[in-house]
């Protein structure tokens, strides 16, 4: 057996790709793109552009040594999956299926390891025109079978399997070594590996592992193979490779056959036409051989004895290498337990996500069916949109207050707008949260935030982000120190930012008495007529209270319905108010002037929104409310049924 020391290599003619320009796009030698003409292609190059003749050096490459470590190289097919073939041959991984390993790493990058994957892509990926630009695009390229592995694949595989992957690159004048443990320690210390186990691979030219390349031609390194560690016995020396071409051309007694990759091009086969394969058209005989099944071989007594002897020698290897078998068994058991825990957690997250989606769809379908059944006329139900941002009003008043509690809770948001943007950025922008915290809006949510604990707030946190807030007591609430300034502001502004009531003259209350009542209470305003809003008021008062009421009977009906439902703890929805309008005022003879509004869905919705603004109510998904109700403080019997519905 010939031993080769790859510290100083022999330069031989290098066969490069004839019609392909390979450009390295990373500071590490594993990520590259290929340009065919004017188009960039990511992954493996077209095999049709490979050279016609390429001699293999694997017959001479039997031993690899670097810095006192000795390895046996094991070649893998060069079909674009060589890195994952090398991982599949290693006994350190729980599976030997190449495609399964690739899929496991991609699922980890898009699931539990998404934060780490984003940092790795930010450090190792170079964004170029016409190439993948986001994490999802890069993982989609990685998931495609046959795509070449990059430095991102190597680091993600190391992080997922908790194995230090050491890559030796065949460069001249010295071998370049890249360790994932060193990379994570220097750039991502939060994701350091906890296992001392290492996996070794060799990065070299396809079929030419003995031909090193220079730094300027790093792109010629286009193949990976596995390096199996060997025990170096005392007194055994590894012969260095000679600088003469004759020494590299004539190997000294080797028992290993020349390796021919099944995935390479069969250049010795002569192409034949379709006519030559048809019967009667060509006289050429078919060269296809009949497939014969191999018979199972029976092991003789001598072979069985030799096998038992070899197995005994293999069992002594750990003692020769100084390995503690008990610690190795504990470490392997812990590794398998951790992999099983990660798989179970990923399955639980997928199931929880599916259940949440199904529950959301069923809830929306039930709401639509109830709205249609309550209405006598067919109406196309659509979500109302905010006049300011145009976003669908997807949050209820309860969610509105719980998000503020999340932002202020020390074990959750901690007052950091960046954390709020990370958790609820797709639903509520941080600018909206800042507007909620303004002094004129404090009275709307301070009652609910005072009684909300961490368990209540965690119900609105997305499933994919809950693992970030596992620490802390679930029954903890906001401290008095945090709530002090908000409660103080709410109490000082309680007389200013509240709803003002209108006082009208009736048969029992004269105009003079109603005006006197309004003067005594700053929260009430006297109006002599329902059809004209404050005729004796100044311009500033008219501006604050809005336009005069055009349909007072209908407005009074809607206001009574909204207030009664809100006071009983069961706020009415926007669609229910519209349905009630169509039932009560559908007669064209009695309500002749209001028919123009009822028959036009858009006009009716605009009129109702203006009415809500005038009576200081707001509409959100599922509720029309003035402020967040404190449901826990209502223990009266008449509120028991609505309280059960809300919970």
The helix or strand, by DSSP H or E, that contains position 527, with its residue range, turns out to be strand 524-527
* Domain definitions of the chain by residue range: 21-264, 303-374, 397-469, 549-647
The predicted model gives 149-158 an average pLDDT of 93
Q: What is the DSSP letter of 477?
A: B
Express each pLDDT in 156-175 by its tens digit: 999 999 999 999 999 988 88
Q: For residue 135, give every residue at least 6 positions away whose Cβ sits within 8 Å of its Cβ, in sequence order, or none.
A: 109, 110, 114, 117, 118, 121
Query: Worst-scoring range by mean pLDDT, 56-65, 391-400, 405-414, 482-491?
Result: 391-400
pLDDT at 40: 40
pLDDT at 523: 52
How far is it, in rounded angstroms, from Cα 408 to Cα 530?
Answer: 44
pLDDT at 632: 44
Among 3.40.50.880, 3.40.50.150, 3.40.50.720, 3.90.70.80, name the CATH number for the domain at 21-264: 3.90.70.80
On the CB side of 194, how many CA atoms lie within 13 Å of its CA?
9
Q: Are 25 and 126 in contact (CB under 8 A)?
A: yes
- State the pLDDT confidence band at 177, using cuts at 50, 70 and 90: very high
More confident call, 634 vs 211: 211
- State the pLDDT confidence band at 265, using cuts at 50, 70 and 90: very low
Express each pLDDT in 516-530 by its tens digit: 776 666 555 555 544
Cβ count within 10 A of residue 268 = 5
Exposure string for 611-645, b = 16+ CB within 10 A, e = fewer: bbebbebbbbbbbbbbbbbebeeeeeeebeebbee
pLDDT at 338: 87
- With the C-alpha atoms ordered 541, 547, 548, 554, is the resulting torsion angle positive or negative? negative
Q: For residue 463, give every residue at least 6 positions away whose Cβ sits within 8 Å of its Cβ, in sequence order, or none.
A: 349, 352, 353, 356
Express each pLDDT in 571-598 by its tens digit: 788 888 888 888 888 776 667 777 778 7
pLDDT at 117: 92
More confident call, 23 vs 405: 405
Q: Are 573 and 624 in contact (CB under 8 A)?
A: yes
pLDDT at 544: 47
Q: Is the pLDDT of residue 138 over 70?
A: yes
- With the C-alpha atoms ordered 523, 526, 531, 536, is the resulting torsion angle positive or negative? negative
Question: Phi-psi region for residue 555, left (φ > 0), alpha (ψ -120 to 50) or beta?
Answer: alpha
**Secondary structure class of 199 (helix, strand, coil):** strand
Report the Cα–Cα distance between both ends of the chain, in Å, rounded.
77
Percent of the chain with pLDDT over 90: 13
Q: Is the pLDDT of residue 225 over 90?
A: yes
- 3-state percent breakdown (helix, strand, coil) of the chain, nearest 5: 45, 10, 45
Q: For residue 452, give every residue at least 6 positions away whose Cβ sits within 8 Å of its Cβ, in sequence order, or none.
A: 401, 402, 405, 477, 478
Q: Are 108 and 156 in contact (CB under 8 A)?
A: yes
Give one DSSP letter per residue of 538-567, joined into a string. Answer: -HHHHHHH-SPPS-HHHHHHHHHHHHHHHH
- Nearest 5°: phi and psi at 279? -75, 130
pLDDT at 586: 72
**Secondary structure class of 625 (helix, strand, coil):** strand
pLDDT at 541: 46
How far is it, in rounded angstroms, from Cα 346 to Cα 330?
Answer: 24
- State the pLDDT confidence band at 103, using cuts at 50, 70 and 90: very high
The predicted model gives 307-320 an average pLDDT of 76
Among residues 484, 498, 513, 392, which one has the least CA distance to residue 440? 498
pLDDT at 188: 92
Among residues 51, 20, 63, 90, which one has the least CA distance to residue 206? 51
pLDDT at 131: 75
The predicted model gives 50-72 an average pLDDT of 79
pLDDT at 261: 42
The predicted model gives 346-369 an average pLDDT of 76
Q: For residue 153, give every residue at least 6 positions away whose Cβ sits within 8 Å of its Cβ, in sequence order, or none.
A: 30, 83, 105, 142
pLDDT at 278: 52
- Nearest 5°: phi and psi at 533? -80, 115
Q: For residue 265, give every residue at least 6 positions away whose Cβ sits within 8 Å of its Cβ, in sequence order, or none.
A: 47, 50
Parallel, antiparallel, or unpaired for β 198-204 and 618-620? unpaired
pLDDT at 256: 40
The helix or strand, by DSSP H or E, that contains position 21, with its residue range, turns out to be strand 21-24
How far is it, in rounded angstroms, from Cα 60 to Cα 52?
Answer: 22
How far is it, in rounded angstroms, from Cα 198 to Cα 180?
Answer: 10
Q: Tokens at residue 49, please?
A: 């552009």
More confident call, 449 vs 273: 449
């Amino acid at each position: 057996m010939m031993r080769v020391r790859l510290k100083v290599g022999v330069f031989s003619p290098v066969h490069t790709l004839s019609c392909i320009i390979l450009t390295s796009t990373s500071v590490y030698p594993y990520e590259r793109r290929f340009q065919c003409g004017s188009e960039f292609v990511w992954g493996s190059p077209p095999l049709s552009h490979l050279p016609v003749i390429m001699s293999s050096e694997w017959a001479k490459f039997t031993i690899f040594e670097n810095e006192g470590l000795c390895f046996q190289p094991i070649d893998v097919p060069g079909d674009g999956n060589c890195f994952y073939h090398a991982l599949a041959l290693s006994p350190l991984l729980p599976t030997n299926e190449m495609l399964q390993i690739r899929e496991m790493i991609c699922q980890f990058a898009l699931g539990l390891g998404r934060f780490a994957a984003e940092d790795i892509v930010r450090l190792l990926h170079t964004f170029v025109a016409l190439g993948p630009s986001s994490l999802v695009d890069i993982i989609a390229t990685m998931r495609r079978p046959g795509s070449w592995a990059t430095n991102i694949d190597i680091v993600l595989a190391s992080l997922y399997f908790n194995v230090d992957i050491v890559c030796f690159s065949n460069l001249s004048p010295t071998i370049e070594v890249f360790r994932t443990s060193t990379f994570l320690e220097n750039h991502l210390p939060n994701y350091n590996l906890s296992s001392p186990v290492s996996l070794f691979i060799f990065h070299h030219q396809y079929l030419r592992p003995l031909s090193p390349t220079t730094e300027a031609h790093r792109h010629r390194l286009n193949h990976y193979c596995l390096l199996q560690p060997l025990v170096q016995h005392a007194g055994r020396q590894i012969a260095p490779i000679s600088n003469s071409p004759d020494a590299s051309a004539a190997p000294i007694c080797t028992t290993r056959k020349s390796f021919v990759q099944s995935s390479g091009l069969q250049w010795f086969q002569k192409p034949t036409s379709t006519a030559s394969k048809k019967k009667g058209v060509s006289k050429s005989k078919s060269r296809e051989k009949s497939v014969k099944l191999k018979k199972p071989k029976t092991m003789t007594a001598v072979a069985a004895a030799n096998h038992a002897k070899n197995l005994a020698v293999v069992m002594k290897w750990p003692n020769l290498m100084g390995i503690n078998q008990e610690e190795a068994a504990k470490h392997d058991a812990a590794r398998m337990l951790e992999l099983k825990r990660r798989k179970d957690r990923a399955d639980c997250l997928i199931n929880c996500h599916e259940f949440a989606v199904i529950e959301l769809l069923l809830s929306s379908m039930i709401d639509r069916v109830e709205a249609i059944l309550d209405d006598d006329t067919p109406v196309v139900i659509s979500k109302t949109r905010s006049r300011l941002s145009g976003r669908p009003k997807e949050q209820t008043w309860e969610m509105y207050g719980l998000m503020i509690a999340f932002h202020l809770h020390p074990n959750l948001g901690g007052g950091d707008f960046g954390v709020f943007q990370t958790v609820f950025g797709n639903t509520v922008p941080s600018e909206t949260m800042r507007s909620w915290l303004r002094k004129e809006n404090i009275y709307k949510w301070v009652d609910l935030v005072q009684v909300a604990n961490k368990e209540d707030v965690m119900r609105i946190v997305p499933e994919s982000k809950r693992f970030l807030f596992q620490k802390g007591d679930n029954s903890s609430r906001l401290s008095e120190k945090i709530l002090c300034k908000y409660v103080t502001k709410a109490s000082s502004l309680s007389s200013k930012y509240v709803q003002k009531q209108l006082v009208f003259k009736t048969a029992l209350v004269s105009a003079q008495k109603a005006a006197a009542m309004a003067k005594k209470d700053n929260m009430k305003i006297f109006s002599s007529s329902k059809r004209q809003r404050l005729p004796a008021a100044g311009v500033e008062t008219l501006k604050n209270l809005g336009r005069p009421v055009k349909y007072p009977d209908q407005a009074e009906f809607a206001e009574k319905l909204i207030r009664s439902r809100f006071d009983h703890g069961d706020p009415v929805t926007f669609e229910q108010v519209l349905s009630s309008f169509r039932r009560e005022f559908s007669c064209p003879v009695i309500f002749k002037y209001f028919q123009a509004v009822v028959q036009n869905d858009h006009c009716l919705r605009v009129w109702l929104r203006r009415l809500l603004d005038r009576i200081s109510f707001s509409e959100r998904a599922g509720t029309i409310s003035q402020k967040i109700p404190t449901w826990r403080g209502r223990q009266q019997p008449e509120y028991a049924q609505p309280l059960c519905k809300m919970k």
